[in-house]
Structure 1
Amino acid sequence: MKKIRFGLQARFLTAMAIMLAVVIALLATLLHRQKDMQQEVADATRDSMHSMVEDSLRRHGEASVNQLADSLTNPLYYFDLDTIGKLVRSAQLEPDVSYVLVFDPQGRIIHDGTEEIAVYGQQMSDPLAYEAVSTPNLHIQWSPQIVDISEPIMIGNERIGGVRVGFSLASVRAHEDRAVTAAKSRLEELGRRHLVWVAALLAALVVACVAIMLYAQRTLVRPIRQLAAAAHAIEVGNYNSERPVSHRRDEVGELVRAFSSMSDSIARHDRDVRRMAYTDSLTGLTNRLAFRESLDHRLMMLRGAGRQLALLFADIDDFKRVNDTLGHEAGDEVLQQFANRILEAVELLGGDDALLARFGGDEFVILIQDGDVRAAATRLAEKLVTELGRPIVIQDRQVFLGTSIGITLFPEDASGATALMKNGDIAMYQAKVAGKNCYRFYSRAMDQAVERRVRMEQELRGAWERGELSLLYQPVFRLSDSRIVGAEALLRWQHPELGMVAPSVFIDVAEQSGLIETIGPRVLRAACAAAARWSADRDPMDQLFVSVNVSPRQLRSGDLPEVVAECLRETGLTSSRLHLELTETAVISDEAHASALLATLHRTGVKVWLDDFGTGFSGLSHLRRVPVDGVKIDRSFIADMLRDPDDLALTSAIIAMAHSLGITVVAEGVEKEGQFNMLRERGCDLAQGYWLGYPVTAAEFNQLIV
Structure 2
Amino acid sequence: MAVVDGDGLVVSANDGLADLVGTDAASLRRRAAAELVDLGADSRTWHAYREVLRGHRSRFRCTRRLKHPDGRSLWAEVTVAPVPRSRHVLLSVADISDRRELQARLRHLQMHDPVTRLPNRTLFFERLTSALEHASCDAYDSYDAYGEGGTGRIGLCYLDLDGFKAVNETLGHRVGDRLLAAVATRLTECAENDAYARGGGHLVARLGGDEFAILVEDSTGTEQLAALAGAVLAAVQRPFDLAGQRLSVSASIGVVERAAAGTTVNGLMQAAETTQYWAKADGKARWTLFDPERNAHRMTRQALSSTLRPAVERGEFALEYQPLVGMADGAVRGVEALVRWNHPRFGTLAPNRFIGIAEEDGSIVQLGRWVLRTACHQARRWQAERPDARPLFVSVNVAVRQVWDSDLVADVAEILDETGLEPGLLQLELTESAVMGSAGRPLRALQALSGMGVRIAIDDFGTGYSNLAYLSRLPVSVLKLDGSFVRGFQDEAHPNPADEVIVEAMVCLAHRLGLTVTAECVETAGQAERLRRIGCDTGQGWWYSRPVPPSRIAALLPPAP
TM range (shorter): 0.5 to 0.7
Candidates 172, 180, 185, aligned match of 1:299: 180
Report the alpha carbon displacement of residue 508 of structure 1 after superposing the two structures with TM.
1.1
Secondary structure in 1 aligned to 2:444? Answer: helix
1:591-602 equivalence runs, <5 A:
591-602=439-450
1:659 aligns with: 511
1:46 aligns with: none
Deviations 1:561-611 (A, max 9, x none): 111111111111111100000001112344343321110101110000000
Secondary structure in 2 aligned to 1:542? Answer: coil
Whichever residue aligns with residue 670 of structure 1, its letter is: V
In structure 2, distance between residues paired with 1:553 and 1:644: 38
Candidates 544, 557, 561, aligned match of 1:705: 557
Candidates 230, 237, 240, aligned match of 1:375: 230
Candidates 404, 408, 417, aligned match of 1:569: 417
Report the alpha carbon displacement of residue 616 of structure 1 after superposing the two structures with TM.
1.5
Candidates 430, 454, 468, aligned match of 1:582: 430
**Does 2:334 match 1:486?**
yes
Report the alpha carbon displacement of residue 499 of structure 1 after superposing the two structures with TM.
1.6
Whichever residue aligns with residue 322 of structure 2, its letter is: Q
Q: Report if the CA contact (8 A) 1:308-1:409 is conserved.
A: no
> Cα distance 1:646–1:559, how it changes in 2: closer, same or farther (>3 A)?
same
1:675 aligns with: 527
Secondary structure in 1 aligned to 2:365? Answer: helix
**Does 2:434 match 1:553?**
no
> Cα distance 1:661–1:631, how it changes in 2: closer, same or farther (>3 A)?
same
Report the alpha carbon displacement of residue 520 of structure 1 after superposing the two structures with TM.
0.5
- Structure 2 unaligned regions, length at least 5: 1-162, 192-209, 215-225, 236-250, 259-264
Whichever residue aligns with residue 703 of structure 1, its letter is: A
> Cα distance 1:497–1:301, how it changes in 2: closer, same or farther (>3 A)?
same
> Cα distance 1:424–1:593, how it changes in 2: closer, same or farther (>3 A)?
farther
> Cα distance 1:290–1:702, how it changes in 2: closer, same or farther (>3 A)?
farther
Report the alpha carbon displacement of residue 505 of structure 1 after superposing the two structures with TM.
1.6
**Does 2:548 match 1:696?**
yes
Report the alpha carbon displacement of residue 464 of structure 1 after superposing the two structures with TM.
2.5
Report the alpha carbon displacement of residue 705 of structure 1 after superposing the two structures with TM.
1.7
Whichever residue aligns with residue 500 of structure 1, its letter is: T
Whichever residue aligns with residue 669 of structure 1, its letter is: C
Deviations 1:331-366 (A, max 9, x none): xxxxxxxxxxxxxxxxxxxxxxxxxxxxxxxxxx9x
1:349-368 equivalence runs, <5 A:
none
**Does 2:360 match 1:508?**
no
> Cα distance 1:378–1:472, how it changes in 2: closer, same or farther (>3 A)?
farther
1:535 aligns with: 383
Q: Report if the CA contact (8 A) 1:584-1:612 is conserved.
A: yes
> Cα distance 1:445–1:685, how it changes in 2: closer, same or farther (>3 A)?
closer
Report the alpha carbon displacement of residue 300 of structure 1 after superposing the two structures with TM.
4.1
Deviations 1:660-692 (A, max 9, x none): 100110001000001111111111111110001
**Bigger shift: 620-629 or 441-450?**
441-450
Whichever residue aligns with residue 464 of structure 2, its letter is: G
In structure 1, distance between residues paired with 2:538 and 2:531: 9
In structure 2, distance between residues paired with 1:449 and 1:297: 40
In structure 1, distance between residues paired with 2:177 and 2:325: 62
> Cα distance 1:547–1:406, how it changes in 2: closer, same or farther (>3 A)?
farther
Report the alpha carbon displacement of residue 481 of structure 1 after superposing the two structures with TM.
1.1
Moved over 6 A (4+): 285-288, 377-380, 419-422, 443-448
In structure 2, distance between residues paired with 1:507 and 1:579: 19
1:639-658 equivalence runs, <5 A:
639-642=487-490, 643-658=495-510
Secondary structure in 2 aligned to 1:691? Answer: coil
1:291-440 equivalence runs, <5 A:
297-303=178-184, 306-307=187-188, 374-375=229-230, 407-408=253-254, 424-429=276-281, 431=282, 440=288
Structure 1 length-normalised TM: 0.42
Q: How many residues align?
A: 338
Candidates 523, 538, 541, aligned match of 1:686: 538
Secondary structure in 2 aligned to 1:595? Answer: helix
- Structure 1 unaligned regions, length at least 5: 1-279, 311-364, 381-404
1:619 aligns with: 467
1:471 aligns with: 319
In structure 1, distance between residues paired with 2:424 and 2:370: 20
Whichever residue aligns with residue 659 of structure 1, its letter is: H
Secondary structure in 1 aligned to 2:314? Answer: coil
In structure 2, distance between residues paired with 1:303 and 1:439: 18
In structure 2, distance between residues paired with 1:473 and 1:653: 30
Secondary structure in 2 aligned to 1:535? Answer: helix
Report the alpha carbon displacement of residue 644 of structure 1 after superposing the two structures with TM.
2.8
In structure 1, distance between residues paired with 2:331 and 2:432: 28
Deviations 1:45-89 (A, max 9, x none): xxxxxxxxxxxxxxxxxxxxxxxxxxxxxxxxxxxxxxxxxxxxx
> Cα distance 1:406–1:489, how it changes in 2: closer, same or farther (>3 A)?
farther
**Does 2:393 match 1:525?**
no
| Higher-RCO chain (CA-CA 8 Å, sequence separation at least 6) | 2
Q: What is the identity percentage for the equivalent residue pairs of Structure 1 and Structure 2? A: 37
User: Normalized per residue, which structure has more helix?
Assistant: 1
In structure 2, distance between residues paired with 1:374 and 1:550: 45
Q: Report if the CA contact (8 A) 1:608-1:629 is conserved.
A: yes
Deviations 1:402-457 (A, max 9, x none): xxx964479x999xxxx99986434344x59xxx9x98346798766544322211
Secondary structure in 1 aligned to 2:312? Answer: coil
In structure 2, distance between residues paired with 1:375 and 1:640: 43
Report the alpha carbon displacement of residue 493 of structure 1 after superposing the two structures with TM.
1.3
In structure 1, distance between residues paired with 2:517 and 2:445: 22
Secondary structure in 2 aligned to 1:481? Answer: coil
> Cα distance 1:543–1:445, how it changes in 2: closer, same or farther (>3 A)?
closer
Deviations 1:185-230 (A, max 9, x none): xxxxxxxxxxxxxxxxxxxxxxxxxxxxxxxxxxxxxxxxxxxxxx
Q: Report if the CA contact (8 A) 1:406-1:442 is conserved.
A: no
Report the alpha carbon displacement of residue 526 of structure 1 after superposing the two structures with TM.
0.1
Q: Report if the CA contact (8 A) 2:340-2:351 is conserved.
A: yes
> Cα distance 1:678–1:289, how it changes in 2: closer, same or farther (>3 A)?
farther
2:452 aligns with: 604
> Cα distance 1:513–1:478, how it changes in 2: closer, same or farther (>3 A)?
same
User: Normalized per residue, which structure has more strand?
Assistant: 2
In structure 1, distance between residues paired with 2:172 and 2:478: 49
Whichever residue aligns with residue 374 of structure 1, its letter is: A
What is the aligned-residue RMSD (CA, Å)?
Answer: 4.4
Q: Report if the CA contact (8 A) 1:407-1:442 is conserved.
A: no
Q: Report if the CA contact (8 A) 2:339-2:351 is conserved.
A: yes
Secondary structure in 1 aligned to 2:498? Answer: helix
**Does 2:478 match 1:630?**
yes
1:120-199 equivalence runs, <5 A:
none
Whichever residue aligns with residue 697 of structure 1, its letter is: P
